[in-house]
Amino acid sequence: MLAGLGTDGKIFVVMVFVAVVLLMTSVIVPTIGSEATANRMMRRRINRVIDSVDSGSSNLLRDRYLGELSPLERSLESIPGISTLRMNVMQAGLKKPAYMYLLFALTLGACAFIVVMLLLQSIFFAIPAALFATTIPFMYVSRQRAVRLAKFEEQLPEALEMMARALQAGHPFVDTLKMIGEEMNEPIGEEFQTVFNDINYGMTSKTAFLGLLTRVPSISLNTLITAVLIQQESGGKLAEILLKISAVIRSRFRLNRRVRTLSAEGRMSAWVLTLLPFVLAVVIALSTPAYLPMMTKDPLGVFITGAAFGLIVLGNFWIRKIIRFKY
What is the third-level CATH fold of 154-252? Receptor-associated Protein (1.20.81)
Q: Does the model's pTM come out above 0.85?
A: no
Q: Where are the domains of the chain?
A: 154-252
**Ordered per-residue pLDDT tens for the chain, 327 residues:** 344 445 555 565 566 666 666 555 554 444 444 455 555 665 666 556 555 554 444 455 555 555 566 666 666 666 777 778 888 888 888 888 888 888 899 999 999 889 888 887 777 778 878 888 898 899 899 889 988 988 998 899 999 999 999 988 888 888 898 899 888 888 898 899 988 988 888 888 888 888 888 888 888 888 888 888 888 888 778 888 889 988 988 888 888 778 777 777 777 777 777 777 777 777 777 787 777 777 667 777 777 777 877 887 787 777 777 776 655
Q: What is the 3-state secondary structure (H, E, C) of the chain?
A: CHHHCCHHHHHHHHHHHHHHHHHHHHHHHHHHHHHHHHHHHHHHHHHHHHHHCCHHHHHHHHHHHHCCCCHHHHHHHCCCCCHHHHHHHHHHCCCCCHHHHHHHHHHHHHHHHHHHHHHHCCHHHHHHHHHHHHHHHHHHHHHHHHHHHHHHHHHHHHHHHHHHHHHHCCCCHHHHHHHHHHHCCCCHHHHHHHHHHHHHCCCCHHHHHHHHHHHCCCHHHHHHHHHHHHHHHHCCCHHHHHHHHHHHHHHHHHHHHHHHHHHHHHHHHHHHHHHHHHHHHHHHHHHCCCCCHHHHHCHHHHHHHHHHHHHHHHHHHHHHHHHCCCC
